[in-house]
Structure 1
Amino acid sequence: MEKSIKLLSYFLFLSMIIMVYPHVVSAESSKEDSNGDNEEKVVLFAGNPNEKIPLYKEKSGETIISHIEDNTTVVLLEAEETFSLVEYIQRGEAEESAVTGYVPSKFVVPLSEADDFRLNRENAFKDKNSAEIKGETEEAKNQEQSLKVGNETEEAITEQKEPEYNREPEVQQEKQAEQGKTTVEEDAETNKKEKELKKEKKAVEEITEQKQENGRSSSTQKVPLASFSKAAAPTLTGIALSDKAHVYESASASSKPLKSYAQGHILKFSPHNATWYSATVYLNGKPHSGYILKTDVELLVQQEGLQGYALKQPVHVYSGPDRNSAVHKSYDIGHLLKYESLTANWHKATVYVNGVAKTGYIHTSDVGSQLPQLKGIAKRNPTVVYADTSRSQALKTYQEGQTLIFRPYNNTWYSATIYLNGQAHSGFIHKNDIVSSQQSEKGIGLKSPTRVYSSLSTSSEILKSYSQGSILKYRTYTDNWYEATVYIDGKPKIGYIHKNDVGTAPVNDVGAAPVKIVVLDPGHGGHDPGTQGNGLVEKELNLDIALRTKSLLEQRGFKVIMTRSSDVFIELRDRSRIANSSGADIFVSIHGNSFNGSAKGVETFWYGTYEKQNSIRLAHNLQNRVVEKTNSYYRRVAEGNFHVIRETKIPSALIETGFLDHPADAANLKKSSFRQRIAEGILLGIIDYFK
């Protein structure tokens, strides 16, 4: 029997090799670099040399249109934080075709660094394979020794120290005993089982013969051995995903719901078919059979004591296993988080909000076991990678506009790996020297003509020209240049527009009609100074930032209503009344913060009485943009029970721009340039909200 199983295994393995081999050869022949004099080439490296990189139709990463071999050169059309747009030459049997799609940015390596990356990876895999071979050899020796020792091995195993967390000692001992069995004992146990099966079969035959003699069964009747046991449907455990997960009377969503459970409730059920689970519910103390849609629950895969790094900016901890749920707390990219696995898509975590422990949920795609790899653009000329954060030694320099890969380090620095003479070195890049995320913008061509260049030089090739006054779309890039995508003969090309050649377009000129109305609320005023610290008075700070924001908004075509425009006191209820009676689209309250002298950073609050989801979205837009513009610490976005946002019936948010009692925050808030960047961040956050 054992020989038959081995022969069958070898046959299946050989069949798989024959089936896969032609596909591998075909895929291998598809490697080819893209051509083009002005195109930026990059190399795609998968996680392992024998893996392929998926090519997606859209940025969401939902639809795969092809797979690209590891170590393939492609044309980079657009680089972004999560996904990059590339052009890939796909070779068919009769012709070649250019395929454009999105690949995960973590697999993209600049062509200039590909050789160093390739060499470093080869050495790493050699070391790994060597370690694995050594481990396999030692394991084989141990197995051979255990066969020789026989019963002594079993005795040694049973004397090993039990696991520290031994919740079921008897089960643990049974497992240890099973692990210590020798080949002879296994054969003995097999023979024993075969004898038992023969006894059962003989008993069945005797029963059958006896029934035949008594005339109670036909001469052809036989009792199958399988009839002695019938497998019960397994019990599964899952979590309710929807606001109301129904248990229906029958396997139809149009049938009567017997019972409903809130989102996050743990449920037990059994498989029924491809669409439904079956479950038992109790009504008035009596059991009833019901059915749950598979899409309303998700199976639990619980595992405690996990930790991982935040992979996005920011990573949210939600109040329920749903991205539309309220956000308990938010963390910066790279932050180390602790949690336990719950389902295939959600982790469960405990967070503290205002000192109160709350259960929250983190999406599995938002965290990972390794620090996230980020991609950005060298903003300065040159952009320097330093040996440490004191800037005492420059390891390497990059030209303005070069694409760099790095990881989060702290609020001021990124860490990066560079290669010098083929050797890897750890370095640091200041955040002010990197454009870590590009923002889409629109503007007006100021020159006649306004040109799009092939590189960061006005003497480089002109890809395309536009007449003065044309509305142009582009992306933030470096201190002096915007990046744009133009189409030449139907093919996309990356080009560059000098910042002096374009101007800001009014909001109405970029498709945002009708005019949006914004209420700005500078907190405190008059006899209410607000908080004070380090020579700053909150009421003055709030008004200064609000007036700067008002000016920027009006330049972009917004209509702005101020709850106060001078140092006067306005009651809280009057501020809400102004917002509710103004016909405005949103309400933004601007404040300064204080706590214990050590708290720092920016935080933004929303309240859920009115326009909850829009208020949450507005709060995140403001928080993200202000932090981005100022390089401030991302403290949190949270629900806050403040009168002005609790009683305001339009989408509203209250932003705390910094801590007046924190030395570093206060030093920044005293600078006019810093307050201007806060205003610019609020402007961009509002624009993002209306997109």
Structure 2
Amino acid sequence: MRRAFAVTLPKIEAEPLKSFISNRMCKCVVRNLPSSMKPFPFLLLAILIFLSPDARAAWNTKEIEGQDHVALEEVAAAFGMQPASKRKDPREIAYSGGAHLLIIKTGTREAIIDGVRHWLSYPIATSGGKPYVAVTDINCTLGPAMSPASVRQIGKVQTVVLDPGHGGHDKGGRSPYGYEKDYTLDMVNRIRKILEAKKVKCVQSRLSDFFVELAERPEMTKNYKDPIFVSIHFNSAEWRPSANGVEVYALPPLGSPTTGKAPDPILDRRKCSGNAKEPASFVLANTIHHTMLGKTGAFDRGVKRARYAVLRHCETPSVLIECGFVTNPQEAKGIHSSQWREKYAQAIADGIIAYMNLANAQKLPPRVWDYKRKSTDEFVWEE
């Protein structure tokens, strides 16, 4: 399940798609070669040239509704996947292989990638009876999710800036038992204690019940070496008390819409400080999400995209975590429990450590099934 081969994958960001395909195919070739041949990367590349000429071709793109798309079958093949068993809903299509799993539903922006839910920038299109995925989603979601080590913007991590959401006059959501601002501070205190026990340097945007301006929170990262920024929140949905589960947000790619919203030609193209580290932020979000699901058993609401102020103004990899719903009767009881908060704090801390291991030691992060949790399998409406 873990990658161990001689040829190093190129960095996805700003790398020609042609190169990315070549290296994905090279991975498949190397995996099936005798171990005695693996120390000779240039020989393997020569073998690749003769065995897989098609792998060196660029994507065959097709413009659909103003966006370049690639046939899903071509993308799946580049990642070593083949069609999996047919699903009950004819709009759902699954591919598996090469230690990956991909399930999509045509006409929606939802995809299940390597066992967890993701929200794409654009719907899976259909043309000539075939499903197509936007190039933006290949570069910014599918590729980084399946090959996180190939993302160029992932740098060393030495400091974790933890942000307890809300505070002071801003109470956040409310449950029958308490306010979000108090739960987020308690969670951050627990996460910090766990990380510091592992010799990880941590700082907090607030240490007690006071309000910090949103733009000032990520500004703290400039005072520390090689930081990441993790903002902790709890969800609310008073109009739908049954809403439950966890979701992790990263900034959308520049020019792409936020999750659940239609494209906005003005807001989507507005540059911000967070754009430079968006690919790394996505990998951080995905890594933490896999770990939270695997360690807590929570409902999978997905890795999502949003232009929250703390993400827009952050020049380092940054995420915002919604740990559960204070408006859901069952989750509200759990959130009020110190045992529950300790469990979730441990899961988040483990996710942060997994990302640091990737950034500092090139160790691939665990996926949800590495924690013995079954892959997410059902599709939900977009929220």
Q: TM-score range by the shorter chain?
A: 0.5 to 0.7
Partner of 1:616: 282
Q: Please give the secondary structure, in 2, of the residue aligned with 1:264.
A: strand
Are 1:519 and 2:161 counterparts? Answer: yes
2-structure distance, mates of 1:667, 1:537: 12
1-structure distance, mates of 2:103, 2:198: 31
Are 1:307 and 2:125 counterparts? Answer: no
> In structure 2, do the counterparts of structure 1 residues 528 and 624 end up closer, same or farther at CA, with 3 Å as the change threshold?
same
Are 1:264 and 2:49 counterparts? Answer: no
> In structure 2, do the counterparts of structure 1 residues 262 and 640 end up closer, same or farther at CA, with 3 Å as the change threshold?
closer
Partner of 1:665: 331
Q: Kindly indicate whether the alpha-carbon contact (under 8 Å) linking 1:305 and 1:339 is maintained by their aligned counterparts in 2.
A: no
Partner of 1:230: none
* AA in 1 matched with 2:132: K
Please report how far the alpha carbon of residue 665 of structure 1 lies from its aligned counterpart in structure 2 after TM superposition. 1.6
Are 1:348 and 2:132 counterparts? Answer: yes
> In structure 2, do the counterparts of structure 1 residues 688 and 340 end up closer, same or farther at CA, with 3 Å as the change threshold?
same
Partner of 1:588: 230
Q: Please give the secondary structure, in 2, of the residue aligned with 1:628.
A: helix
Partner of 2:216: 574
Partner of 2:32: 64
> In structure 2, do the counterparts of structure 1 residues 537 and 316 end up closer, same or farther at CA, with 3 Å as the change threshold?
farther
Partner of 1:140: none
Please report how far the alpha carbon of residue 60 of structure 1 lies from its aligned counterpart in structure 2 after TM superposition. 6.1
Q: 1:242-298 CA deviation, whole Å, 9 max, x = no partner?
A: 8999xxxxxxxxxxxxxxx974279xxxxxxxxxxxxxxxxxxxxxxxxxxxx9xxx
Q: Kindly indicate whether the alpha-carbon contact (under 8 Å) linking 2:158 and 2:201 is maintained by their aligned counterparts in 1.
A: yes
Are 1:630 and 2:274 counterparts? Answer: no
1:61-460 alignment, distance < 5 Å:
63-64=31-32, 241=59, 263-264=68-69, 305-308=90-93, 315=102, 329-331=110-112, 333=115, 347-348=131-132
Given candidates 569, 573, 598, the residue that maps to 2:242 is 598
> In structure 2, do the counterparts of structure 1 residues 584 and 567 end up closer, same or farther at CA, with 3 Å as the change threshold?
farther
> In structure 2, do the counterparts of structure 1 residues 557 and 625 end up closer, same or farther at CA, with 3 Å as the change threshold?
same
2-structure distance, mates of 1:548, 1:555: 11
2-structure distance, mates of 1:309, 1:316: 4
* AA in 2 matched with 1:580: K
* AA in 2 matched with 1:534: P
2-structure distance, mates of 1:340, 1:514: 38
Q: 1:310-366 CA deviation, whole Å, 9 max, x = no partner?
A: 869985769xxxxxxxx954448499xx977779xx94379xxxxxxxx97798xx9
Structure label with greater radius of gyration: 1
Q: 1:360-403 CA deviation, whole Å, 9 max, x = no partner?
A: 7798xx9xxxxxxxxxxxxxxxxxxxxxxxxxxxxxxxxxxxxx
Please report how far the alpha carbon of residue 241 of structure 1 lies from its aligned counterpart in structure 2 after TM superposition. 2.8
* AA in 1 matched with 2:173: T
* AA in 1 matched with 2:69: G
Q: Please give the secondary structure, in 2, of the residue aligned with 1:533.
A: coil
Partner of 2:174: 532
Structure 1: gaps spanning 5 or more residues: 1-57, 67-238, 246-260, 267-294, 296-303, 319-326, 351-358, 367-512
Q: 1:192-232 CA deviation, whole Å, 9 max, x = no partner?
A: xxxxxxxxxxxxxxxxxxxxxxxxxxxxxxxxxxxxxxxxx
Alignment size in residue pairs: 245
Q: Please give the secondary structure, in 1, of the residue aligned with 2:293.
A: helix
Q: Please give the secondary structure, in 2, of the residue aligned with 1:650.
A: coil
Partner of 2:344: 678
- Provide the TM-score with structure 2 as the length reference: 0.54
Q: Kindly indicate whether the alpha-carbon contact (under 8 Å) linking 1:307 and 1:339 is maintained by their aligned counterparts in 2.
A: no
Please report how far the alpha carbon of residue 604 of structure 1 lies from its aligned counterpart in structure 2 after TM superposition. 0.5
Structure 2: gaps spanning 5 or more residues: 1-25, 35-56, 72-77, 79-88, 118-122, 146-154, 254-274, 359-383
Q: 1:599-637 CA deviation, whole Å, 9 max, x = no partner?
A: 110000011423011000000111111111111001011
2-structure distance, mates of 1:681, 1:549: 9
2-structure distance, mates of 1:549, 1:634: 21
- Provide the TM-score with structure 1 as the length reference: 0.31
2-structure distance, mates of 1:649, 1:243: 33
* AA in 1 matched with 2:233: H
2-structure distance, mates of 1:645, 1:314: 29
Q: Please give the secondary structure, in 2, of the residue aligned with 1:613.
A: helix
1:460-499 alignment, distance < 5 Å:
none
2-structure distance, mates of 1:672, 1:313: 36
Partner of 2:42: none
Q: Kindly indicate whether the alpha-carbon contact (under 8 Å) linking 1:243 and 1:262 is maintained by their aligned counterparts in 2.
A: no
Given candidates 196, 200, 203, the residue that maps to 1:561 is 203
> In structure 2, do the counterparts of structure 1 residues 334 and 525 end up closer, same or farther at CA, with 3 Å as the change threshold?
closer
Q: Please give the secondary structure, in 2, of the residue aligned with 1:576.
A: helix
2-structure distance, mates of 1:517, 1:243: 41
Q: Kindly indicate whether the alpha-carbon contact (under 8 Å) linking 2:104 and 2:124 is maintained by their aligned counterparts in 1.
A: no
1-structure distance, mates of 2:207, 2:68: 45
Partner of 2:312: 646
> In structure 2, do the counterparts of structure 1 residues 565 and 330 end up closer, same or farther at CA, with 3 Å as the change threshold?
farther
- Identical amino acids, percent of aligned pairs: 29
Please report how far the alpha carbon of residue 597 of structure 1 lies from its aligned counterpart in structure 2 after TM superposition. 1.0
> In structure 2, do the counterparts of structure 1 residues 684 and 60 end up closer, same or farther at CA, with 3 Å as the change threshold?
farther
Q: 1:441-490 CA deviation, whole Å, 9 max, x = no partner?
A: xxxxxxxxxxxxxxxxxxxxxxxxxxxxxxxxxxxxxxxxxxxxxxxxxx
Please report how far the alpha carbon of residue 668 of structure 1 lies from its aligned counterpart in structure 2 after TM superposition. 1.8
Partner of 1:121: none
Q: Please give the secondary structure, in 1, of the residue aligned with 2:304.
A: strand
> In structure 2, do the counterparts of structure 1 residues 242 and 639 end up closer, same or farther at CA, with 3 Å as the change threshold?
farther
Q: 1:494-519 CA deviation, whole Å, 9 max, x = no partner?
A: xxxxxxxxxxxxxxxxxxx9871010
* AA in 1 matched with 2:350: L
2-structure distance, mates of 1:313, 1:532: 40
Q: Please give the secondary structure, in 2, of the residue aligned with 1:675.
A: helix
1-structure distance, mates of 2:317, 2:61: 23
2-structure distance, mates of 1:535, 1:65: 59
Q: Please give the secondary structure, in 1, of the residue aligned with 2:229.
A: strand
> In structure 2, do the counterparts of structure 1 residues 684 and 329 end up closer, same or farther at CA, with 3 Å as the change threshold?
farther
> In structure 2, do the counterparts of structure 1 residues 662 and 572 end up closer, same or farther at CA, with 3 Å as the change threshold?
same
Q: Kindly indicate whether the alpha-carbon contact (under 8 Å) linking 1:530 and 1:537 is maintained by their aligned counterparts in 2.
A: yes
> In structure 2, do the counterparts of structure 1 residues 348 and 514 end up closer, same or farther at CA, with 3 Å as the change threshold?
closer
2-structure distance, mates of 1:625, 1:563: 24
> In structure 2, do the counterparts of structure 1 residues 549 and 64 end up closer, same or farther at CA, with 3 Å as the change threshold?
same
Q: Kindly indicate whether the alpha-carbon contact (under 8 Å) linking 2:278 and 2:317 is maintained by their aligned counterparts in 1.
A: yes
1-structure distance, mates of 2:211, 2:124: 46
Q: Please give the secondary structure, in 1, of the residue aligned with 2:169.
A: coil
Please report how far the alpha carbon of residue 549 of structure 1 lies from its aligned counterpart in structure 2 after TM superposition. 0.3
Q: Kindly indicate whether the alpha-carbon contact (under 8 Å) linking 1:314 and 1:330 is maintained by their aligned counterparts in 2.
A: no
> In structure 2, do the counterparts of structure 1 residues 334 and 589 end up closer, same or farther at CA, with 3 Å as the change threshold?
closer
Q: Please give the secondary structure, in 2, of the residue aligned with 1:682.
A: helix
2-structure distance, mates of 1:623, 1:515: 19
